[in-house]
A and B are shown apart, each in its own frame.
Chain A
């Protein structure tokens, strides 16, 4: 692996560019390079691992049991990537990806590193942009002191830091219980775990229980919940939740089963209700997406080799649908086989033969996933906040009431139109934190399905880039011709 610290050192074009150095991206880049492709892996962070294996090569938390064995598995994947011939651009942001910008059929990629932008080209791309936590819009969630559970986990992995004072962890899903255990092991004072798993969810998930029993999740998942329940104050059936405080968090207010308000004073509130694919890049590139009813989120529409609807773009890992780290690595590997075949390095027979065991392993990994998806699907009141004063767009500070009002009175039927009326989704996060909620509110108010409501149509740049960076880019002949006539 060759690390590149300056955007000027990148080649002008690569056979394969992989975006994201998590489980899928590391596997895809290593496999691509191993099959002889000129491969570049670009990643926003300073060290490889993505979020799940964040800082696996540098973490100060060296006692293996604190972060758990699943975390340390990442080290082998990083080591394999290190041994490969791939080029690696850390701290590099991809702000555009266009499949139809060039006459030669190559994908054009806009990158930025250390305040300098550059356009490069790729014959094939694999987007391994992973997942983000599903927005958890409750009253007060913008107060300092409220964070995602994932954020606390990242602080623990990268810096060996834990939230100070009294910590409340709230929400549902395997990551929440994992984090509660990790933080407790690292010495945090967790005063309560507020479980928002919907009471009816078990009933809808039950038909999938047979598969779950035979899944690799079972033992692990049950152990996590049991541990959290045994060691920590565990409050189940939480049906309402709010963060309270003036200019910073002072406590949490909640209700169980529609009962009376209860309060817990706390200094940190960590929220989590599952993860959803990060689709900003595939969306802005113009790839078709579909709504996954089971996982309750949008994902790119893909074929058997994880190719998206735009030629030359494949999507692997949780960015293509949530499956967890192991499944992500396998999907990265399979996607790279597809690329090698499309670029003539492998014939179809060899590709299929090498993919077969990986696909079998993938099926094993994903067994039982449906049960988890259905069990931990957030309750409606945590997807579309009932309290109209709740902020849904954190950047532009647009409330649930404003969105409902625009949907009802002004007849706004989709997120893109909503953006024009209310500015929601126009701030720097570009709808990452409000998109799903705005869609839920429109669907609820107008009695539409989420598939009908749709999602924000994103446009590059998908990450902020300065005007200076853009202006300093060398202009292509075609770009100049388009303006100077």
Chain B
């Protein structure tokens, strides 16, 4: 989706996982920027039709960048700085009732 310019790639690396896959971001990235630079096409599916979505505005307005960060859902990836060791998961559709009850 995105690629780093030589200047962008020169920043210190940060390791994280997305849906269990090991990825590398860079210091100064937001989660959304790191996912885009790692070629992640979609970071969530919608609650209404399960359509895939990717970050759209990167400035906190659209909420299409929602992801699960270290087990906490509905985090705006474009407002959350990436940290080393983060476990990020795509946010899939609507939350099930069983999940809410547990």
Contacts and interface: CB of A to CB of B under 8 A. Distances in A.
A52 B22 CA distance: 33
Contact of A428 (B10, B37, B52, B66): B66
A144 B55 CA distance: 8
21 contacts: A45-B79, A60-B28, A61-B8, A132-B61, A142-B51, A142-B64, A150-B58, A151-B56, A154-B33, A155-B37, A158-B33, A160-B7, A164-B2, A248-B41, A248-B42, A267-B1, A268-B1, A427-B63, A428-B66, A429-B61, A464-B74
B33 A145 contact: no
B87 interface: no
Contacts of A338: none
A265 to B, nearest CB: 16
A58 interface: yes
Nearest to B28: A58
Interface of B: 1-5, 7-11, 26, 28-30, 33-34, 36-37, 39, 41-42, 46, 48-49, 51-64, 66, 72, 74, 78-79, 81
B26 A144 contact: no
Interface centre among B34, B55, B57, B62 (most CB of A within 10 A): B62
Interface string A374-405: 00000000000000000000111100000000
Given A132-B59, A395-B63, A144 B52 contact: yes
Contacts of B56: 142, 146-148, 151, 394
Contacts of B46: 395, 397
Contacts of A267: 1
A417 B74 CA distance: 27
Interface string A105-146: 000000000010000000000000000110000000010111
Nearest to A148: B57
A425 interface: no
A92 to B, nearest CB: 11
A4 B7 CA distance: 30
A159 to B, nearest CB: 4
Interface string A224-250: 000000000000000000000001100
B79 to A, nearest CB: 6
Interface string A36-77: 000000001110000100010010111100000000000000
Contacts of A163: 1-2
B53 A144 contact: yes
B52 A159 contact: no
Contact of B79 (A44, A55, A132, A427): A44
A191 interface: no
Contacts of A144: 1, 41-42, 52-54
Interface in A319-374: none
B49 A397 contact: yes
Nearest to B48: A397
A150 B59 contact: yes
Given A61-B7, A132-B61, A429-B62, A158 B28 contact: yes
A156 to B, nearest CB: 8
A429 B5 CA distance: 31
A394 B64 contact: yes
Nearest to A280: B61
Given A144-B52, A187-B5, A397-B51, A432 B36 contact: no
A151 B4 contact: no
Contact of B52 (A186, A247, A397): A247
Nearest to A45: B79
A201 B28 CA distance: 41
Q: Which 5 A-B pairs have the closest CB atoms?
A: A160-B8, A144-B54, A151-B58, A428-B63, A161-B2
Contacts of A62: 7
B60 A145 contact: no
A145 B28 contact: no
Contacts of B53: 142, 144, 394
Interface in A267-302: 267-268, 278
Contacts of A158: 28-30, 33
B57 A151 contact: yes
A159 B55 contact: no
Contacts of A278: 61
B63 A429 contact: yes
Contacts of A145: 1, 41, 54
B96 to A, nearest CB: 18
A428 to B, nearest CB: 4
A148 B59 CA distance: 10
A433 interface: yes
Contacts of B26: 159
B55 A151 contact: yes
